[in-house]
């Protein structure tokens, strides 16, 4: 049934200038809000903020420095850390040197106190004597003996350097200038200090080969701190990796913004070129750009209002990037599809008003059906609330709603105002329909063979879908940087992930020590666990669990899952926290929802299409086609990225493929089916309608499919593996839908099914 457009078209025509003005006003009002969107964007992939709120609005951000040298006890390392502490007096640096300096001061004043007490006792018992060097020497020996016997349990664990400590005590008691903490710190290096921290502290900061030292510091501005750290490292000759949540976030922010800008610019260039070629008009070429800018600004403002004022939360850095790409592709698709139908009608000698009415009725109706289906798919995604990408459901639904609104209001108003000035409606048509008719003839002749081959290919790809499990190693797909390289450097040198241990807290205060000990021993013997250490003392019930693999790897996730299962079965009450907990929980949540997501999306799409087409067979066939396309695209991506390039295949890419193919991929199927249905309603036979649909809609569907896939392939060309994998898997899926599904598979099915394409409809 043709969409009733006479009244609507008349309304648009009467108020075309007002509609354009309203959209411009909305655009201008939206600019201030849109500019604030990235203030609610989170670039954190570790699950924690690693920041501390201090007085006022200042926030201290924690940064972990990995200092690499052939000998981290060298003077160059010490000089680097000394200067770093001077440049960041509020940085609260924690390193072997800062801990040692603290112990030197603590011990110095402790010894001073003992010496003064002994001097007073000596003078009280020998009132006519004075304190000379000989007396001080004897007192220093007493202080030394008393110090060793009276130190607390923590101090007893310090490695005593014998003579060095004795010399230090003597110097403190006798007031030698070279025995002050400051002089010891300046004149000696770490291995020569008379006072050293416990072995456990040293081993947590220095690797066994003494090539790395870990330094924790705080800063108010990571970007400024990073440049200072880099300059100091170059000056001292140290190789320094800055890592942690802030460093990773900064790296992600820089790379994703750059990559998305490249992808959008590439997509815009391709859209402008293809639009200009199709309509042979410089004016028409820039219509998608104009409307896209309006769509993005208005959508960004809505995103900011929704997440900042209503939901009061942040959105993942994935979301605005991929939503912008999607909006560019669909905005261009809808504009070109409607304008192409208008041009077809004008070239068939219909007047401008009649051509506009037919374009908005048939092409606009297909766009409306398609847009509502896409929006519904993303609404479904938002209900799943998946980590990292759950917010994209809301963003995409809102963004595509804006795209749809401009497509059915602003575009018609512009077309009515500009008319034929938008494009060349008198140019001789290229005879490309004949080529598509030949394709249709091929589909008709070999329909059964085509479908059998396609089913076999989809079945083989299904095998890869269920056997090659994706992972959550986002870190392995980020551009190489100190923040990302540090994880493998530290793990390789220490032999385990010392950066992100799992924090275990026992919650049952009445739990017996024997139960705790048994559980801890079980954890220590678990595969993938390197060590378990008390955090603040065993009596607190808090422990750090160090894993052999870092958090983002499959081994790290599997180790966490095994630990969690072990603790659940042990019957104790506990809490686990840390990066690996966040990563594993996110991965498990997404992976567990993959199949329910596919099934629910399939049901939603079927219901929408059945309601509109009143056909059961065509929606089922369409949903099964989408399933097959995502299986093939998934298999191609696995073969290229996982097997050929040896890169992680992340579950986020797989979910984006599912959502975009089930949402966006349905567009072209609807465009073709609606065109075929139009010809059937005009009284043509099934074969005539399918041939007409391919010859008349095929060229424009191919064109917009190339544009949309190019936009996503722009992400693949960004040079950022994370965006490249997501862009490639979606782009290849769209190409398969465009060139395989639209041109070959759907026509073959529709030729075979004949009148059953529309069952139980009576058209």
Are residue 463 and residue 611 in the same domain, yes or no?
yes
472 in a structural domain: no
3-state helix, strand, coil in the chain (%, to 5): 70, 5, 20
Contact 227, 87 (CB under 8 A): no
Report strand pairing: 315-316 vs 529-534.
unpaired
For residues 695-710, give the mean pLDDT.
Answer: 88
DSSP letter string over 484-532?
HHHHHHHHHHHSS--SSPEEEEE--TT--HHHHHHHHHHHHTSTTEEEE
Are residue 541 and residue 664 in the same domain, yes or no?
no
Q: What's the CATH code of the domain at 562?
A: 3.30.70.100
Contact 734, 709 (CB under 8 A): yes
The pLDDT-based confidence of 638 (bands split at 50, 70, 90) is very high
201-239 pLDDT per residue, tens: 888 899 998 899 999 998 888 888 888 999 999 998 899
Longest dimension (CA), the chain: 130
479 in a structural domain: no
At 53 the three-state DSSP class reads strand
Are residue 237 and residue 273 in the same domain, yes or no?
no
Are residue 573 and residue 592 in the same domain, yes or no?
no
Are residue 353 and residue 367 in the same domain, yes or no?
yes
Are residue 370 and residue 314 in the same domain, yes or no?
yes
At 152 the three-state DSSP class reads coil
710 in a structural domain: yes
352 in a structural domain: yes
The pLDDT-based confidence of 157 (bands split at 50, 70, 90) is very low
Domain total of the chain: 3
23-53 pLDDT per residue, tens: 999 999 999 999 999 899 887 776 655 555 4
Residue 138: the pLDDT is 83
Q: Which of 577, 605, 632 is the last residue of a domain?
A: 577
Are residue 236 and residue 279 in the same domain, yes or no?
no
475 in a structural domain: no
At 228 the three-state DSSP class reads helix
Residue 44: CA count within 13 A, CB half-sphere? 16
The pLDDT-based confidence of 197 (bands split at 50, 70, 90) is confident
For residues 190-209, give the mean pLDDT.
Answer: 83
Q: Which of 213, 243, 273 is the last residue of a domain?
A: 243
449 in a structural domain: yes
Are residue 373 and residue 510 in the same domain, yes or no?
no
Q: Which residues of 606-622 are buried (b: 16+ CB within 10 A; e: fewer)?
A: bebbbebbebbbbbebb
Mean pLDDT of the chain: 86
Are residue 552 and residue 615 in the same domain, yes or no?
no
Query: Could you tell me the sign of the dihedral formed by the alpha carbons of 157, 158, 163, 167, in that order?
Result: negative
472-494 pLDDT per residue, tens: 998 888 888 888 888 889 989 99
Tell me what percent of the residues of the chain surpass a pLDDT of 90: 40
The pLDDT-based confidence of 253 (bands split at 50, 70, 90) is confident
Are residue 312 and residue 443 in the same domain, yes or no?
yes
Residue 60 has pLDDT above 80, yes or no: no
Are residue 72 and residue 26 in the same domain, yes or no?
no
274-331 pLDDT per residue, tens: 888 888 888 889 999 999 999 999 999 999 999 999 999 888 887 888 899 889 989 9
> φ, ψ for residue 574 (rounded to 5)?
-150, 170
Distance CA 590, CA 472 (A): 10
476 in a structural domain: no
Residue 15 has pLDDT above 70, yes or no: yes
454 in a structural domain: yes
Distance CA 381, CA 377 (A): 6
DSSP letter string over 587-655?
HHHHHHHHHHHHHHHHHHHHHHHHHHH-BSHHHHHHHHHHHHHHHHHHHHHIIIIIIIS----BHHHHH
Residue 665: the pLDDT is 80
For residues 444-470, give the mean pLDDT.
Answer: 95
Are residue 366 and residue 341 in the same domain, yes or no?
yes
The pLDDT-based confidence of 386 (bands split at 50, 70, 90) is confident
Q: Which of 200, 221, 243 is the last residue of a domain?
A: 243
Residue 123: the pLDDT is 85
Structural domain of 424: 6-41+249-467+586-758
């Amino acid at each position: 049934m043709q969409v009733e457009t006479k009244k609507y078209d008349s309304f648009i025509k009467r108020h075309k200038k007002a509609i354009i003005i309203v959209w411009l006003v909305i655009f201008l009002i939206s600019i201030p809000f849109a500019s604030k969107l990235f203030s609610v964007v989170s670039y954190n992939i570790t699950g924690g903020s690693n920041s501390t709120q201090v007085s006022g609005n200042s926030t201290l951000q924690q940064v972990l420095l990995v200092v690499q040298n052939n000998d981290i006890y060298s003077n160059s390392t010490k000089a680097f850390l000394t200067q770093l502490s001077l440049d960041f007096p509020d940085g609260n640096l924690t390193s072997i040197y800062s801990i040692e300096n603290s112990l030197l001061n603590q011990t110095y004043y402790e010894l001073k106190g003992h010496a003064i007490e002994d001097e007073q006792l000596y003078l009280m018992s020998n009132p006519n004597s004075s304190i000379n060097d000989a007396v001080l020497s004897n007192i220093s020996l007493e202080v030394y003996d008393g110090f060793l016997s009276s130190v607390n349990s923590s101090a007893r664990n310090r490695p005593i350097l014998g003579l060095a400590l004795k010399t230090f005590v003597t110097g403190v008691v006798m007031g030698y200038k070279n025995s002050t903490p400051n002089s010891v710190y300046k004149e000696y290096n770490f291995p020569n200090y008379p006072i050293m921290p416990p072995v456990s502290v040293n081993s947590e900061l220095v690797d066994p080969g003494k090539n790395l030292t870990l330094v924790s510091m705080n800063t108010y501005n990571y970007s400024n701190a990073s440049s200072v750290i880099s300059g100091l490292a170059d000056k001292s000759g140290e190789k320094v990796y800055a890592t942690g949540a802030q460093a990773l976030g900064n790296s992600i922010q820089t790379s994703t913004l750059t990559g998305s800008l490249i992808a959008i610019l590439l997509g815009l260039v391709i859209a402008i070129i293809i639009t200009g070629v199709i309509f042979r008009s410089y004016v028409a070429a820039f219509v998608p750009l104009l409307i896209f800018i309006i769509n993005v600004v208005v959508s960004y403002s809505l995103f900011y209002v929704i997440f900042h004022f209503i939901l009061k939360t942040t959105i993942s850095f994935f979301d605005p990037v991929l939503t912008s790409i999607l909006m560019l592709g669909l905005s261009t698709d809808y504009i070109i599809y409607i304008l192409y139908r208008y041009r077809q009608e004008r070239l068939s000698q219909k007047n401008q008003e009649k051509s506009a009415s037919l374009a908005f009725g048939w092409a606009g109706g297909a766009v409306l059906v398609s847009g509502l289906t896409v929006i519904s798919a993303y609404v479904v995604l938002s209900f799943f609330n998946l980590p990292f990408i759950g917010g994209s459901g809301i963003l995409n639904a809102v963004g595509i709603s804006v795209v749809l609104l401009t497509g059915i209001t602003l575009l018609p108003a512009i077309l009515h105002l500009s008319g034929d000035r938008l494009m060349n409606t008198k140019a001789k048509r290229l005879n490309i329909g004949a080529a598509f008719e030949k394709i249709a003839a091929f589909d008709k002749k070999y329909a059964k063979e085509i479908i059998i081959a396609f089913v076999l290919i989809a079945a083989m790809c299904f095998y890869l879908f269920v056997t090659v499990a994706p992972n959550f190693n986002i870190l392995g797909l980020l551009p190489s940087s100190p923040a990302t390289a540090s994880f493998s450097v530290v793990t390789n040198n220490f032999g385990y992930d010392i950066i992100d241990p799992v924090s275990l807290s026992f919650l049952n205060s009445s739990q017996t020590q024997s139960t705790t000990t048994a559980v801890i021993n079980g954890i220590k013997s678990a595969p993938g666990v390197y060590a378990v250490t008390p955090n603040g003392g065993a009596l607190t019930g808090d422990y750090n669990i160090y894993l052999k693999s870092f958090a983002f790897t499959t081994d790290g996730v599997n180790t966490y899952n095994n630990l969690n299962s072990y603790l659940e079965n042990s019957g104790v009450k506990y809490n686990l926290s840390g990066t690996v907990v966040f990563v594993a929980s996110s991965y498990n949540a997404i992976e567990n929802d993959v199949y329910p997501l596919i099934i629910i999306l399939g049901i939603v799409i079927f219901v929408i299409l059945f309601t509109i087409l009143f056909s059961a067979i065509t929606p089922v066939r369409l949903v099964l086609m989408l399933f097959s396309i995502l299986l093939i695209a998934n298999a191609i991506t696995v073969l290229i990225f996982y097997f050929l390039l040896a890169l992680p295949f992340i579950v986020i890419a797989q979910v984006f493929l599912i959502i975009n193919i089930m949402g966006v991929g349905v567009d072209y199927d609807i465009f073709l089916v609606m065109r075929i249905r139009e010809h059937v309603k005009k009284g043509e036979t099934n074969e005539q309608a399918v041939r007409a649909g391919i010859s008349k809609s095929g060229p424009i569907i191919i064109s917009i499919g190339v544009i949309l896939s190019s936009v996503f392939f722009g992400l693949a060309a960004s040079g950022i593996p994370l965006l490249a994998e997501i862009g490639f898997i979606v782009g290849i899926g769209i190409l398969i839908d465009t060139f395989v599904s639209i041109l070959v598979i759907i026509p073959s099915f529709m030729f075979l099914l004949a009148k059953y394409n529309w069952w139980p409809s009576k058209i």
